Amino acid sequence: MPTDQETINPPEHYDYDAIVIGTGPGGEGAAMKLAKGGLRIAVIEKYKDIGGGCTHWGTIPSKALRHSVSQLIELKNNSLFLNNYPQNKTFTFKDVLRHSQQVIAKQVTMRSGFYNRNNCNLYFGKATFVNKHTILITRGDGSSEEITAKNIIIATGSRPYHPEDIDFEAANIYDSDTILSLDYHPQHIVIYGAGVIGCEYASIFRGLGVKTDLVNTRDRLLSFLDAEMSDALSYHFRNSGMILRHDEEYEKVESTANGVVIHFKSGKKMKASCLLYANGRTGNTDKLALDNVGLNPDSRGQLAINEHYQTEVDNIYAIGDVIGYPSLASAAYDQGRVAAHFILCREGKKKLIKDIPTGIYTIPEISSVGKTEQMLTQQKVPYEVGRAQFKDLARSQILGSDVGSLKILFHRDTKEILGIHCFGERAAEIIHIGQAIMEQKGKANTIEYFVKTTFNYPTMAEAYRVAALNGLNRLF
């Protein structure tokens, strides 16, 4: 029998315990955690396949492209193969795209299995808020239905930013999504925007032999990096034949029958086969009807959240690119798990790690974790530097890849590791060895660990021992 209080305020009944909007890394992380916690989960995806922008237009295809191009460069630089097995075929952008499509298909199959095994109900269609507990799903054929849930997680990702004065419908103007539809091999490409995406695609096109101009609106590449790493990237870009143009902003972009002409505020003009505009991204929140629940994204479509990833409406959460920094697939997955943990347990002890590693898949790669030299100098922290040059490592010599270095920043007195910066092939993998030691507590996270441990030989990991000895030798 219901109590008098239950008769007055009957318990709420929802179709689901939680609805997750978006199936990128953030949505997947949240859905899996909630489902394994025993909740009834609905997941909504507007595209025809799961995976989000990360799988279909961003991380996976661009990194697959980069890997293929990197292998081509290695082959071209290997005299053993060129002298004995001459290659006459010229590879185009369209050729290397095939590999990325294969990887995407495998990712979709694998990740679909995750949702099926964890009994998540998948809905395909456009999601809009009716109220704080109700979502309207509109399918491609025009049919629709409403579903309800106690909690809703927005994990809709982001898309390339489009200035209103650039015609992205023109045949020779692309963004970082539509560039994957490029079906010819351009002779000359201008990439406007020298952030992570712009630098990665500049590496890809230059590696394929395309004349590449990289236009940077700032005074140096990737200014958030340690300056030594940024300088190394600039040097290798220029050494590859790429043209870097710093402190430039466009005035006007013209699409012509033969290509594209960019007019700059500095008075310069550039003509190229095509333009890749890669200057910023916008959160995918404008089509969610957020005004129906009183949420107001900022000018870049991003939502404000608290430490538990709750928006101003306490049962609506936001994770991934829609909340801005750090806008990393790896961080989005963990944000989803942290938000799900709060929904399950109503406690907020679970947090993201303090030092999130950054991987930039240029050619060569860059990866960093922790503080930069510039930060430590500004903070007046007494630090020292240990370096290892890849050209001195036996494994690097075997691979024929002598470009790159590992730099360890550590406290002069305590020898605590403060930051690690790596430039060169497999940098994004190598960085995790140092990250694991940095995350240890007490005296376990000192540079001396790398001297005391034994590394396989020959390996790239041995760079840590070399860098540690180099750094300790600087102390007096």
DSSP designation for 391: G
The strand pairing partners of 21, in sequence order, are 44, 154
Whose CA is closest to 447, among 396, 424, 413?
A: 413
Reported as a single tens digit per residue, the pLDDT across 70-80 is: 888 877 766 66
Q: Which pLDDT does position 441 carry in this prediction? A: 81
Reported as a single tens digit per residue, the pLDDT across 180-239 is: 999 889 999 999 999 999 999 999 999 999 999 999 999 999 999 999 999 999 999 999
Strands (E), 267-395: 269-272, 274-277, 281-283, 316-318, 358-360, 366-370, 383-389
Q: Which pLDDT does position 400 carry in this prediction? A: 80
Report the mean per-residue pLDDT for the chain. Answer: 92
Other CB atoms closer than 10 Å to residue 370's CB: what's the count? 22
The domains of the chain, with CATH numbers, are 4-160+282-345 (3.50.50.60), 173-279 (3.50.50.60), 364-472 (3.30.390.30)
Whose CA is closest to 233, among 132, 367, 408?
A: 367
Q: Is the pLDDT of residue 1 over 60?
A: no
Q: Are 111 and 51 in contact (CB under 8 A)?
A: yes
pLDDT band at 290 (very low <50, low <70, confident <90, very high): very high
Residue type, 233: L
pLDDT band at 5 (very low <50, low <70, confident <90, very high): very low
Q: Is the pLDDT of residue 130 over 90?
A: yes
Strands (E), 314-459: 316-318, 358-360, 366-370, 383-389, 404-411, 417-424
Reported as a single tens digit per residue, the pLDDT across 369-417 is: 999 999 999 999 999 999 999 999 999 998 888 899 999 999 999 999 9
Q: Which pLDDT does position 385 carry in this prediction? A: 98
Interval 22-48 mean pLDDT: 97
Reported as a single tens digit per residue, the pLDDT across 406-461 is: 999 999 999 999 999 999 989 999 999 999 999 998 778 999 999 999 999 999 99
Which range is least confidently modeled, 20-29, 127-136, 340-349, 371-380? Answer: 340-349
DSSP designation for 306: -
